[in-house]
Amino acid sequence: MDDSGALVLFSGGQDSATCLAWALDRFGHVETLGFDYGQRHAVELECRATVRDGLGRVNGDWAARLGPDHTLGLGALGEVSDTALTRSVEITMTDQGLPNTFVPGRNLVFLTFAAALAYRRGLKHIVAGMCETDYSGYPDCRDDTIKALQVALNLGMESRFVLHTPLMFIDKAETWRLAERLGGEGLVELIREESHSCYLGDREHVHDWGHGCGTCPACDLRAAGWRRYRGG
Ligand code: ZN
């Protein structure tokens, strides 16, 4: 157990919920941060409190370590980006070979604001769910991007932040397995029921892998990961 504090980028999705459990298993004090940037799936922000409360029931030690929750408004990100995450358009692939859900620089902005908040709160560790394995090819999810940003943030803030990305090299099935190792079936159930991944913000349709439209790229990824996880 590391008694220094951590800040977890916590959107309310499967990945960040698993990261939050990972941090609660390691660090003595854990705070959470969510961003409101005009995302179409803003319903994910409403799932955050439910998942946080649920984590405390999965493990009493986690409840004791879980500190305050923070949300920051980053509406400017929605203003500068023209993407299917922030506008009501169909999700397609762009000429650059990226899905049009890509918000340019989003994770750079998120991590920079996270570091500014961690600085103020005296938290050394920053934990985020970026993954370059089976993600949608977003360049700001790459390990090299995160490592370069860690250097830049530490130079620019005269700090010794450590950026952790526990999901970087595992796929969605392995992310479910990680949740199972951390919190057993109780944690898997909590994440399946209460976390939100669907880009369209659909909470009406329920599948064996959780809530969502069932057809957007985020739902596809989540469903495929769940099938591989349950299949063994
Ligand atoms: Zn969906």
Report pLDDT digits (tens) over 12-62: 999 999 999 999 999 999 999 999 887 766 777 788 999 999 999 999 999
Ligand 1 centroid to 21 CA: how many Å?
A: 24
Question: In the chain, where are the structural domains located?
Answer: 2-196
Ligand 1 centroid to 189 CA: how many Å?
A: 19
Report pLDDT digits (tens) over 157-198: 999 999 999 999 999 999 999 999 999 999 999 999 999 988
How far is CA 102 from each of CA 87, 132, 135, 138, 161, rounded to the nearest angstrom? 12, 14, 11, 7, 26
Ligand 1 centroid to 125 CA: how many Å?
A: 31
Ligand 1 centroid to 102 CA: how many Å?
A: 15
Report pLDDT digits (tens) over 1-19: 788 899 999 999 999 999 9
Sign of CA dihedral 188, 191, 194, 199: negative
Q: What is the mean pLDDT of residues 73-87?
A: 72
Ligand 1 centroid to 9 CA: how many Å?
A: 21
Q: Is 226 in contact with 208 (CB distance < 8 Å)? A: yes
Ligand 1 centroid to 221 CA: how many Å?
A: 10
| CATH number assigned to the domain with residue range 2-196, chosen from the 4 options 3.30.390.50, 3.40.50.720, 3.40.50.620, 3.30.413.10 | 3.40.50.620
Ligand 1 centroid to 123 CA: how many Å?
A: 34
CA distance 18 to 20: 5
Ligand 1 centroid to 199 CA: how many Å?
A: 5
Is pTM beyond 0.75? Reply is yes
Ligand 1 centroid to 22 CA: how many Å?
A: 25
Residue 102 pLDDT more than 90?
no
Ligand 1 centroid to 203 CA: how many Å?
A: 9
Ligand 1 centroid to 104 CA: how many Å?
A: 21
pLDDT of residue 100: 62
The residues, ordered by sequence, that sit 6+ positions from 144 with a Cβ below 8 Å of its Cβ are: none
